[in-house]
Amino acid sequence: MNRYEILDRLGDGAYGEVLKARNLKTNEVVAIKKLKMLFPTWEECLQLRELKSLKVLRHDNIIQLKEVIRDKAELYFVFEYMDTSLFAWMRKNNAKEPQIRTIMSQLFSGLAYMHKHGFFHRDIKPENCLCSSGIEVLKVADLGQAREIRSRPPFTDYVSTRWYRSPELLLRSTTYNSPIDLWACGCIMAELFLGKPLFAGSSEADQMCRICGILGTPTKESWPEGVTMVSQMQFKFPKCNPVPLKMAIPNASPAAIQLMVDLLHCAGTAVSLLHARHSAVWGAGCQANCTPDDGQRRQKGLHLGSRTAQEAVCDNPLVGLGQRLQRQSEPTTGGIWMCPNPKTAA
């Protein structure tokens, strides 16, 4: 650590503190994450999920790990420095749709690469999206909760920050997967339009009530697993009719509304959302960025044995409340669970 001069303290979290520092040899400004846990050996360091994922994920929209330092059992991660976070930027700016398009396309690009390479983040929120002061560049950060898509459940049920937590996480599912990242993206995108969270619950129960207040009440027919989990928790879904998302977010364009609907449906992967019908409007220029740079074969989803990630997601009964309800909904309901119009989906 004697190669670095500490300039400022940027923040503190459950796992450690983040410092702004300068490399004394190159004058490069960096961000250094000092972990609270002590690591007597390098072998223990190499087992950290964050380090495992960052060693694999090298992408323009994922924060770059520059160096790992172990000094007297203290562990430091040296990252590239970013001006601010999306959370801080939103507190000072009212985002316009062109800016939201820039933000979300970069977020999708980073997540698409992450998912294609076998990881899902599990804690997507504005604080974990670092960006330049003018929002030209955005990078997904803080991969401390990241897990491999191939990992076998059960997973920790308490992950993600409440306002960006998917319904299956609120109901303590332990068999979730990468669609929870897409739900969080939908919540972030809505927050960019509204200037406030779409679902700002004060507790897990209140969070679920707010979700049902817009998305409608799930039933035994639409989401049997969710109803079963609710009964086990001695909780009842509130009885609510779905509200068209356009009413909740009136300043969003039809294309943006449809994308948020798809995100809250978990209707696809980050890759497919970039490359399908939204790419012309929301993901232009991102296709090349989420292509693996290590010569791996190109495919629509991550291979899990003989199946793609999308096929594996569809086989999982708990991958998303929206996806289950989407299959049961009729286009005439006008709510967010409405199936996409095939004429506009092309």
CATH number at residue 57: 3.30.200.20
| Percent of all residues in the chain with a pLDDT value above 90, rounded to a whole number | 47
Q: Provide the number of structural domains found in the chain.
A: 2
- Do 95 and 75 lie in a common domain? no
- Do 100 and 161 lie in a common domain? yes
Q: Is residue 301 part of a domain?
A: yes
- Do 63 and 169 lie in a common domain? no
DSSP labels, 240-300: -----HHHHSTTS-HHHHHHHHHHHHT-S-HHHHHHSTTTTTTSTT-TTTTS-SS-PPP-S
**Is 293 designated active site?**
no
Using an 8 Å Cβ cutoff, are 242 and 253 in contact? no
Distance, in Å, from the CA atom of 305 to the CA atom of 150, rounded to the nearest integer, reads 9
For residue 240, the one-letter residue type is C
Residue at a domain's end among 34, 50, 80: 80
Q: Is residue 223 part of a domain?
A: yes
Q: Is residue 344 part of a domain?
A: no
Q: What is the pLDDT of residues 71-85, one digit of tens each?
A: 999 999 999 999 999
Strands 16-23 and 4-12: antiparallel
Distance, in Å, from the CA atom of 79 to the CA atom of 116, rounded to the nearest integer, reads 23
Using an 8 Å Cβ cutoff, are 338 and 329 in contact? yes
Q: What is the pLDDT of residue 153?
A: 56
- Do 13 and 119 lie in a common domain? no
Residue 199 pLDDT grade (very low, low, confident, very high; cuts 50, 70, 90)? very high
Q: Is the peptide bond before 154 cis (omega within 30 degrees of 0)?
A: yes
Separation of CA 300 from chain center: 19
Q: Is residue 27 part of a domain?
A: yes
- Do 75 and 109 lie in a common domain? no
Work out the average pLDDT over 195-215. Answer: 92
Using an 8 Å Cβ cutoff, are 294 and 138 in contact? no
Q: What is the pLDDT of residues 292-335, one digit of tens each?
A: 333 232 222 222 222 233 333 333 333 334 433 333 332 223 33
**CA-based Rg of the chain, rounded to a whole angstrom?**
20
Q: Can you tell me which residue has the tokens 């800016």? A: 99
Q: Is residue 8 part of a domain?
A: yes
Is 16 a residue whose pLDDT tops 60?
yes
Where do runs of H (alpha helix) occur along 130-280? 167-170, 179-194, 204-215, 224-232, 245-248, 254-265, 270-275
- Do 252 and 299 lie in a common domain? yes
Q: What is the pLDDT of residue 88?
A: 96
- Do 327 and 244 lie in a common domain? yes
- Do 51 and 171 lie in a common domain? no
Could you tell me which residues are annotated as the binding site? 34
- Name the helix (H) or strand (E) containing 35: strand 29-38
Q: What is the pLDDT of residue 266?
A: 63
Is 162 a residue whose pLDDT tops 60?
yes
Residue at a domain's end among 56, 80, 104: 80
For residue 222, the one-letter residue type is S
Distance, in Å, from the CA atom of 54 to the CA atom of 75, rounded to the nearest integer, reads 15
Q: Is residue 215 part of a domain?
A: yes
Q: Is residue 341 part of a domain?
A: no
> For residue 343, what are the contacts with CB-CB under 8 A and spacing of at least 6?
none
Catalytic residue among 8, 83, 123, 294: 123
Nearest one of 63, 72, 55 to 32, comparing CA atoms: 63
Q: Is residue 322 part of a domain?
A: yes
Distance, in Å, from the CA atom of 246 to the CA atom of 264, rounded to the nearest integer, reads 14
The reported pTM is 0.77
Helix/strand/coil for 59: coil
Distance, in Å, from the CA atom of 228 to the CA atom of 220, rounded to the nearest integer, reads 8
Widest pairwise Cα distance in the chain: 65
- Do 187 and 253 lie in a common domain? yes
- Do 122 and 224 lie in a common domain? yes
Could you tell me which residues are annotated as the binding site for ATP? 34
Q: In which domain, by residue range, is 206 found?
A: 85-333
- Do 223 and 319 lie in a common domain? yes
Residue at a domain's end among 43, 60, 80: 80
CATH of the domain at 329: 1.10.510.10
- Do 96 and 68 lie in a common domain? no
